Amino acid sequence: MKYITFEKALEQNLKNPQFKKAYDALEVEFQIIHDVLKKRIEQDMSQKELAKKIGSDQAVISRLESGNYNPSIKFLKRVAKAVGGQLKVTII
Protein backbone atom coordinates (compact mmCIF):
# COMPACT_ATOMS: atom_id res chain seq x y z
CA MET A 1 0.00 0.00 0.00
CA LYS A 2 1.35 3.41 -0.98
CA TYR A 3 0.86 6.31 1.42
CA ILE A 4 0.76 9.96 0.41
CA THR A 5 1.03 13.08 2.53
CA PHE A 6 -1.98 15.19 3.42
CA GLU A 7 -0.57 18.02 1.33
CA LYS A 8 -0.27 15.79 -1.74
CA ALA A 9 -3.78 14.41 -1.26
CA LEU A 10 -5.14 17.93 -0.87
CA GLU A 11 -3.32 19.08 -4.00
CA GLN A 12 -4.84 16.20 -5.96
CA ASN A 13 -8.34 16.75 -4.58
CA LEU A 14 -8.25 20.50 -5.26
CA LYS A 15 -8.14 19.67 -8.99
CA ASN A 16 -11.78 18.53 -8.64
CA PRO A 17 -13.98 21.66 -9.08
CA GLN A 18 -16.67 20.43 -6.67
CA PHE A 19 -14.11 19.60 -3.99
CA LYS A 20 -12.34 22.95 -4.48
CA LYS A 21 -15.60 24.87 -4.17
CA ALA A 22 -16.49 23.07 -0.90
CA TYR A 23 -12.92 23.45 0.42
CA ASP A 24 -12.83 27.17 -0.38
CA ALA A 25 -16.17 27.66 1.37
CA LEU A 26 -14.63 26.23 4.56
CA GLU A 27 -11.21 27.87 4.24
CA VAL A 28 -11.63 30.14 7.29
CA GLU A 29 -12.75 27.26 9.49
CA PHE A 30 -9.85 25.09 8.31
CA GLN A 31 -7.37 27.90 8.98
CA ILE A 32 -8.66 28.39 12.53
CA ILE A 33 -8.41 24.66 13.23
CA HIS A 34 -4.91 24.51 11.75
CA ASP A 35 -3.71 27.52 13.76
CA VAL A 36 -5.15 26.29 17.07
CA LEU A 37 -3.66 22.82 16.59
CA LYS A 38 -0.28 24.23 15.57
CA LYS A 39 -0.03 26.60 18.54
CA ARG A 40 -1.26 23.95 21.01
CA ILE A 41 1.30 21.44 19.75
CA GLU A 42 4.08 24.06 19.76
CA GLN A 43 3.26 24.65 23.43
CA ASP A 44 3.36 20.88 24.05
CA MET A 45 -0.15 21.17 25.46
CA SER A 46 -2.86 18.51 25.48
CA GLN A 47 -6.49 19.31 24.73
CA LYS A 48 -7.23 18.75 28.40
CA GLU A 49 -4.51 21.19 29.48
CA LEU A 50 -5.75 23.84 27.04
CA ALA A 51 -9.32 23.38 28.21
CA LYS A 52 -8.26 23.80 31.83
CA LYS A 53 -6.36 27.01 30.98
CA ILE A 54 -9.44 28.57 29.44
CA GLY A 55 -11.90 27.22 32.00
CA SER A 56 -13.58 24.82 29.63
CA ASP A 57 -13.89 21.10 28.98
CA GLN A 58 -11.62 18.91 26.82
CA ALA A 59 -14.62 17.92 24.70
CA VAL A 60 -15.05 21.55 23.63
CA ILE A 61 -11.44 21.71 22.41
CA SER A 62 -11.93 18.39 20.61
CA ARG A 63 -15.05 19.72 18.86
CA LEU A 64 -13.21 22.91 17.91
CA GLU A 65 -10.26 20.99 16.43
CA SER A 66 -12.52 18.58 14.56
CA GLY A 67 -14.59 21.38 13.04
CA ASN A 68 -17.75 20.45 14.94
CA TYR A 69 -17.96 23.67 16.94
CA ASN A 70 -18.73 27.22 15.89
CA PRO A 71 -16.74 29.27 18.41
CA SER A 72 -17.37 32.87 19.35
CA ILE A 73 -14.71 35.55 18.95
CA LYS A 74 -14.55 35.77 22.75
CA PHE A 75 -13.83 32.03 22.99
CA LEU A 76 -11.15 32.21 20.28
CA LYS A 77 -9.48 35.11 22.13
CA ARG A 78 -9.25 32.95 25.25
CA VAL A 79 -7.80 30.06 23.25
CA ALA A 80 -5.27 32.31 21.52
CA LYS A 81 -4.10 33.77 24.82
CA ALA A 82 -3.84 30.32 26.42
CA VAL A 83 -1.55 29.04 23.66
CA GLY A 84 0.62 32.15 23.69
CA GLY A 85 -0.88 33.63 20.56
CA GLN A 86 -3.03 36.53 19.56
CA LEU A 87 -6.32 36.51 17.67
CA LYS A 88 -6.49 38.69 14.57
CA VAL A 89 -9.56 38.94 12.38
CA THR A 90 -9.29 40.52 8.95
CA ILE A 91 -12.00 41.34 6.45
CA ILE A 92 -10.58 41.80 2.98
Per-residue model confidence as pLDDT tens digits over 23-82? 899 888 989 998 999 999 999 999 999 999 999 999 999 999 998 999 999 999 999 999
pLDDT at residue 32 in the model = 92
pLDDT of 6 reads 79
- The predicted model scores a pTM of 0.75
Predicted local distance difference test score (pLDDT) of residue 22: 92
- Residue of 55, 28, 68, 42 lying closest to 79 (CA atoms): 55
C-beta neighbour count of 90 within 10 angstroms:
4
Q: Identify the H or E element spanning 34.
A: helix 27-42
Please give the pLDDT value at position 92: 85
pLDDT score recorded for residue 42: 93
